[in-house]
Structure 1
Amino acid sequence: MATELELKLMLQPEHLTSVSDFLDGICAQSEIDGQSRQPTLSLMNAYFDTDTASLMQGGMALRIRAVNSQFIQTVKTRGSNRVGMHARGEWEWFLPTDRLDLSLLSEVILPESLQDMAWSRELVEVYRTDFERQVWNIVTEDSKMEVVCDQGWVTSPYGKDAICELELELKEGQEAALYQFALQLAEQVPVQVSLVSKAQKGVRLKYGQIEFPDQPSYIANQTELASYWYEVWLVYWEAMHFMQDEALMQPLRHSISQLKTCLPNELMQILDNVEHTLEQHLRMDEEVVLTKLASMKQIGIAMLKVGQWLNQKTG
């Protein structure tokens, strides 16, 4: 088993070329061994679950990936909570065909609700993802990471959802390097932090539900409250663009207001500026406001700086 730690960033399609050029430039200017662009991949992933979403509710994703005529079976389970990042248990096996081999799951630490394997008799393919993946290996002074840019679609009998995102996965070294590099990138290209995995996109097509973090207890400290309101902000931001509904701006702004009360002065000022920007954009034509907001570097930089601070406090 590996523990996957990654930072996911939303990206608008019109900025794909800028991202590629930025990352290509870093690799071209570097003489560091191991830092380079890798071959572009075309990936298909079929995700499996029961009709009642037993795996999703149990916190597990099961898929088969086809890449370059090879088949890989993957299981991912919920790991420890890392503010603004994805930390998960991950198991992978190469397969001779595109058929699941559930005997391999004997190696997996299954969530308690799934340990009896009764669900295995009811598995169906519930959605799939098809996307092109550009890959860069990035090396900093004390860390190595893989940066991928994915563009494509999640499809199911219930509809489809676009994939356009960056993933920064730590391969070796310090977690802080993910935020440091993400901030360097966000200064050049407008991106925003995302908590929504491709698997969650697929599930959402069927159930139409937006997943919110668990609300902390009334005895929560300021850092716990800040983590909660930060993740609520991220969820509303992604949902607003997924649903193309600027009406979600109101609860989004409320989450930022609550978050500010839990932050040091420097970050409070950054969010004050974000709130002012959001208020100004409310006066714009509804047809262009979401596109304009998603093209602003300020939003993503603020998300990353708050996330960086929270991970330093909770790490």
Structure 2
Amino acid sequence: MAGSSACASTRSLKASKLSSRFRKCSVEAVVMAAMVANKANMSDWGVDSAPDVFIWQLHDNNMTTEVELKLALAPAHVAALKRHPLLLAAGTPLRRNLLSVYHDTPKLALMRHHAALRVRRVGRQWVQTMKIGGGATGGLHQRPEWEAVVPDATVNPALFDAPAVGALLTPARPAKLVPVFETRFWRTTWQVQWGDAQIEVALDQGEVRSGAHSEVICELELELKSGTALALFDLALALAETIPLRPDPVSKAERGYALFLGQLASPIKAAPAGLRADMSVTA
């Protein structure tokens, strides 16, 4: 870290450990400290109970809850990331080309209800996905989602057998749904065992496009497959020791809608970091 180092004191991480992790870059230290603060807030509930409290639950048997930590990185650091010992130890990664087309009504009814409907091509298969609500804290995204395999890129809302989805899509009949933007990117994934947690590390490189407007995608997603969400922060901190990473609160869908609306490079108001009076920063 140029000139200074930062550390956050929490019950789960000692100050000396954080100091060594954050000595690379003062700007990144402040950002990553927010991640540690959010992790500390989760640990207040107890490691085992944190996910049940921290994640919005809809109690729908047809629903799965996506829990992932999204991190932004510069394209210049991708090569170093791929050589990171933690990822090399995970074995040969899987690399796939993904095309996703997002649909909404002409008046963006789904966006206004904080929902996203996409059809994604994965290999030779098309998968339709609906995500509703959720939120991001310190880069941690939690969203309930529903999926259905479809024969082609045509949207078929009737395949979603879920009351929450039906309530949103009933007014938006298939004839009223139109493509609004798309994402095209290469996804490289590693399966990492981190303590008792199984985490999928996904590197996405490509673009999101709406009409003549486009934006580069270069991000790292740590998705929890099993275990507790606290493990995502621990793994992110370990990677951030040598790779410049920062929490990214903006989803691909949010980027696409911003392009569609012409809101290029618009500022985003940060959520409260969750710092408490009993935390400290030392030089």
TM-score relative to the length of structure 2: 0.71
Residue in 1 that maps onto 2:82: 20
Q: Would the alpha carbon gap of residues 174 and 2 (structure 1) be closer, same or farther in structure 2, given more than 3 Å must change?
A: same
Structure 1 residue 40: deviation in Å?
A: 0.4
Superposition deviation, residue 264 in structure 1:
3.9
Paired-residue identity, %: 35
1:117 offset after TM fit, Å? Answer: 2.6
Q: For residues 159 and 247 of structure 2, what CA distance do their matches in structure 1 show? A: 34
The structure 1 residue matched to 2:147, chosen from 92, 112, 121, is 92
Aligned twin of 1:243? none
**SS in structure 2 at match of 1:180:** helix
Give secondary structure in 2 for the equivalent of 1:144: strand
Report what 1:57 is aligned to. Answer: 112
Residue 76 (structure 2) pairs with residue 76 (structure 1): no
Question: Are residues 211 and 28 of structure 1, via their aligned partners in 2, closer, same or farther at CA, if it must alter by over 3 Å?
Answer: closer
| Alignment-mate amino acid for residue 170 of structure 1 | L
Aligned to 1:48: 103
Give the deviation of 1:229 after TM superposition. Answer: 3.2
Structure 2 CA distance for partners of 1:151 and 1:118, relative to 1, 3 Å? closer
| Alpha-carbon distance, 1:266 to partner | 2.0
Separation of aligned partners in 1, 2:109 and 2:132:
13
The match for 2:33 is none
- Per the normalisation by structure 1, the TM-score is 0.64
Q: Is the 8 A contact 1:75 1:90 kept in 2?
A: yes
Distance 1:163 1:187, change over 3 A: same
Say whether 1:229 aligns with 2:243: no
Give the superposed CA RMSD. Answer: 2.4
Identify the structure with the greater helix proportion: 1
Q: Is the 8 Å Cα contact of residues 71 and 139 (structure 2) preserved in structure 1?
A: no
Preserved CA contact (<8 Å) 2:148 2:160: no
Higher RCO (C-alpha 8 Å, min separation 6)? 2
Q: In the alignment, what sits opposite 1:150?
A: 204
Q: How many residues align?
A: 219
- Cα deviation, residue 74, structure 1: 0.7
Q: Which blocks of at least 5 consecutive residues in structure 1 are unaligned?
A: 30-34, 214-226, 231-258, 274-315
Alignment pair present for 1:171 and 2:225:
yes
CA distance in 2, matches of 1:76, 1:138: 25
Q: Which residue of 2 aligns with 1:235?
A: none
In the TM superposition, residue 154 of structure 1 has moved relative to its aligned partner by 0.5
Q: Does 1:134 align with 2:184?
A: no
Counterparts of 1:111 and 1:58, CA distance in 2:
13
Offset at residue 193 of structure 1 (A): 0.3
Report the Cα distance in structure 2 between the residues aligned to 1:108 and 1:100, rounded to whole angstroms.
18
